[in-house]
Amino acid sequence: MTKPLRIAVAGLGTVGAGTLRLLDQNAVAIAARSGRGVSVSAVCARDKTRDRGVDLSSYRWFDDPVAMAREADADVVVELIGGAEGTALETVEAALSEGRSVVTANKALLAHHGTALARLAEDRGCTIAYEAAVAGGIPIIKGLREGLAGNRISRVYGILNGTCNYILTQMSAAGGGANAGPAQDFADVLADAQRLGYAEADPSFDVDGVDTAHKLAILTALAFGCEVDFDSVYVEGIRNVSALDVAYAEELGYCIKLLGVAQQVNGAVEQRVHPCMVRKGRPIASVDGVFNAVVADGDFVDTTMYEGRGAGAGPTASAVVADLIDLARGMAPPVFGIASTQLRQLPTLPMERHACAYYLRLLVLDKPGVIADVSAVLRDADISMESMLQRGRAEGEGEPVPVIIMTHETSEASMQAALARIAALDATLEPPQLIRIVDF
C-alpha cells in the first residue's frame, strides 16, 4: 500500500484538536477514500502541558512552528494558528519554501497575502488548500473551484459569520410573531452570545464585519479569477442595528442579515459587507442561528445555494480533513482555480456608485414641517420615497418620534449626501440610520 500522507499540525486549539480526533476516529474511512491514509508526524502549540483531550505522545513535538514547517518529516503542514501576520505567515511561507503544501483555516492570512502565497506555492510546485477558511463545513471552495468550474460567475454572496447571524436571529426571534416578547437590542443579545460561547470576549472582528470581509475577499478571487483585494472591500458591521429596526423590518415583511456580496458590474468588481434588508420568503432569509449560507450565480447553472454550520471544531475539522484527503489523492489544483500568473487585477467599483433601495430610520421632533423638510432633502437629492411609516404621535408636540422611510433605488452617493443634510436639520435628534435593501 502507498505510504500515508504525512502531516505536521501547527496549532492545537479547538480546530487543531478536533482535526486530530477526526483523523483518529475515522482513520479507516479516510484511508479507503484517499487510497493511502493520513498520518500525523509532528505537532506544535504554545503549551505542551495543556490537556486537549487527545493523545499527543506518538507525535514529535515542536515549540516553534516555523522550525516544524522546515524540519518535520511531513509532506503537508496544517496551519491552524490564525492571524494575518507574524507566526502564521512565517510558518506558511517556510512550509511552501520547502515545497510542502499547506492546509489552512486562516481566512485573514489569505485575505491579506493570498495572491503572494499562491505565487510562492506555484513556484515551489505545491499548493494551499483552504476549504476550512470560508464557511466552516460548507464545501464552498470546492463548489466554486471545481463544481462550477465551467461557469462564468457573476455574483457570489452570503451569510459568512455565524456570530452575527445568531445575534440578528435572536433579535428577530424576540421581536417577531404574535407570542414573542419585546425585541432585544444588540448589546443585550451580544452579551448572551458571549455567555453561550457563540461570540468572543472581544467580538470586534465578527460584529464589525471584518471576519465576513476576509472570507468575501477570498471568494471574490476564486469566483472571478482576480487577485485577492481585501482593501477594496466596503465593510460595515451590525452594531447600529437596533430593536426598532428589527421590529420595523418584521412589520414591512423583511428580516435583517449581515451579507457579504461580490459581483461584477461592467467589468469592475464590487465587494461589500453590510447589514441588508432581505425580503421574507427568499431562501437566504430562512438561514438562522449560527448557520452560514453562500449563494453563487453562474451563467449556465443559474443560482446555487450552499448552507451549513460555519464554525466549530467539528465542521471546521471536517473541511481540513477533506483537503488532506484531496492532497493524499494527488489532487493539487491552483490555489484560486487558475494559475497565479493569470489572476487579473480588475478595477474596483467604489461603494458610492452602488445603487439600491434603502430603509431609513430617523428620530425627529414631532412638530409641523419636519416631514416636509425631510421630503425636500430627498427631493433635492433626486431620491424617490416608496413609503413612510410613523406610528402614532409623541405625547406632546416637540417630543421625539421615529420615522421610517423606504426609498426607491438610488445611488449610494446621493443617499449619503441626503443623510448628511437630514442629520443637520434642527429637528433631527440623532444620526439617521440606513440599511440597504437587496433584491435577492
Instruction: Indicate which residues carry an active-site annotation.
Output: 215
Q: Is the dihedral of CA 23, 25, 27, 30 positive or negative?
A: negative
73 near 3, Cβ under 8 Å?
no
Q: Helices H, strands E: what count in the chain?
A: 14, 17
Q: Which residues of 45-56 are buried (b: 16+ CB within 10 A; e: fewer)?
A: beeeeeebebeb
| Cα–Cα dist 130/143, whole Å | 13
Phi, psi dihedral angles at 70 (to 5 degrees): -85, -35
In DSSP terms, which residues pair with 264 in a beta bridge?
269
98 near 74, Cβ under 8 Å?
no
Nearest to 133 by CA among 230, 65, 244: 230
Nearest to 162 by CA among 195, 136, 129: 136
| Cα–Cα dist 9/7, whole Å | 6
What is the signed CA dihedral for 264, 286, 211, 111, rounded to 10 degrees? -30
How is 270-307 classified by DSSP, letter by letter? EEEEEEEEEETTSGGGG--TTEEEEEEEETTTEEEEEE
What radius of gyration do the chain's Cα atoms show?
24
Residues 6+ apart with CB under 8 A from 353: 411, 412, 413
Exposed, middle or buried: residue 373 (CB in 10 Å: 0-12, 13-18, 19+)? middle
Q: Which residues of 152-163 are buried (b: 16+ CB within 10 A; e: fewer)?
A: ebebbbbbbbbb
Q: At what angle do helices 27-34 and 313-328 cross, to 10 degrees?
A: 40
